[in-house]
Amino acid sequence: NAGVTQTPKFRVLKTGQSMTLLCAQDMNHEYMYWYRQDPGMGLRLIHYSVGEGTTAKGEVPDGYNVSRLKKQNFLLGLESAAPSQTSVYFCASSFGLYYEQYKQYFGPGTRLTVT
């Protein structure tokens, strides 16, 4: 099993450009999450999904959109990138149905710089 994979690993964007980050998991997990991690701020939840075809807003959703068309994939889109979106982005997944299944498995992260 590959676990949780993220594409790309690094990206540099100019202000106003758009891009999509892809997260894929091969563990048949129901729940998937997108976080951003900034120095001194910890991990902050952007959007999450509790099943195929569903999405919900997290703590810092502005400027981002998501889609979960297939159970194994969770896409994070930036329509018009801003320097404030420079961050490390982590995707995570969990079974989300019972007790220990709420533990999250994280991907390796995508380091995004917006100039």
Under the rule (CB under 8 A), what is the footprint of other proteins? 4, 31, 33, 35, 40-45, 48, 50, 56, 58-59, 90, 92, 96, 99-100, 102-109
Q: What number of CA atoms fall less than 13 Å from residue 25's CA on the CB side?
A: 27
Q: Least distance (Å) from other proteins to the CB of residue 34?
A: 12
| Nearer CB in complex with other proteins: 17/104 | 104
| In contact, 84 and 60? CB cutoff 8 Å | no
Q: Which is nearer to other proteins, 3 or 16 (by Cβ)?
A: 3
Dist CA 16 CA 6 (whole Å)? 23
Q: How far is residue 18's CA from residue 45's CA, in Å, rounded to a whole number?
A: 20
Residue 12 or 82 with smaller CB distance to other proteins: 12
Minimum Å gap between C-beta 15 and other proteins is 26
Collapsing DSSP to helix, strand or coil, 73 comes out as strand
Q: Which is nearer to other proteins, 19 or 60 (CB)?
A: 60
How far apart (Å, rounded) are the C-alpha atoms in residues 114 and 16? 9
Q: Closest distance between other proteins and the C-beta of residue 108, in Å?
A: 6
| Strand, helix or coil for residue 37 | strand
State the nearest-atom distance from the C-beta of 96 to other proteins, in Å: 7
